[in-house]
């Protein structure tokens, strides 16, 4: 098996069905991403992205990859995204996040070997 690309990428579909790659902020590359949730987090009418992941139990020679505490990207409505600083976004997720479920004004996070965690959006 050969890997041609190891970065987390975003591909958007055009009206003709063609996929175009859109660059993501460098902060996305700091840890593995296992779940991507599209939502209007700041309620401005444009889709934002919440990326979560991490790998705490990796092979010893690679070590832990756990720098993602819940990365929120603000969408501009045209397919580009900018990272929201961690302190402003407010997420403090630790562990290997494998699922995110938005329900009403809450986000439920499924984290490996941990109880379900909930965050309430304002």
Asked if residue 21 has pLDDT above 80, the reply is: yes
Q: Which tens digit of pLDDT belongs to each residue from 110-120?
A: 999 999 999 99
What are the φ/ψ torsions at residue 119 (nearest 5 degrees)? -125, 135
Largest CA distance in the chain: 45
* Residue where the block lists tokens 């190891």: 6
pTM: 0.88
Q: Which tens digit of pLDDT belongs to each residue from 69-85?
A: 899 999 999 999 999 99
Q: Which tens digit of pLDDT belongs to each residue from 32-54?
A: 899 999 999 999 999 999 999 99
What is the mean predicted confidence (pLDDT) over 96-117? 94
């Amino acid at each position: 098996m050969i890997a041609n690309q190891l970065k987390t990428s975003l591909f958007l579909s055009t009206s003709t069905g063609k996929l175009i790659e859109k660059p993501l902020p460098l902060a996305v590359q700091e840890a593995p991403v296992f779940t991507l949730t599209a939502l209007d987090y700041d309620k401005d009418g444009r889709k934002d992205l919440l990326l979560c992941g991490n790998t705490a139990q990796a092979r010893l020679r690679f070590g832990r990859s756990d720098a993602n505490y819940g990365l929120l990207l603000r969408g501009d409505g045209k397919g580009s995204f900018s990272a929201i600083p961690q302190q402003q976004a407010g997420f403090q997720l630790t562990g290997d996040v494998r699922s995110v479920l938005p329900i009403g004004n809450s986000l439920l996070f499924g984290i490996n070997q941990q109880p379900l965690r909930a965050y309430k959006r304002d």
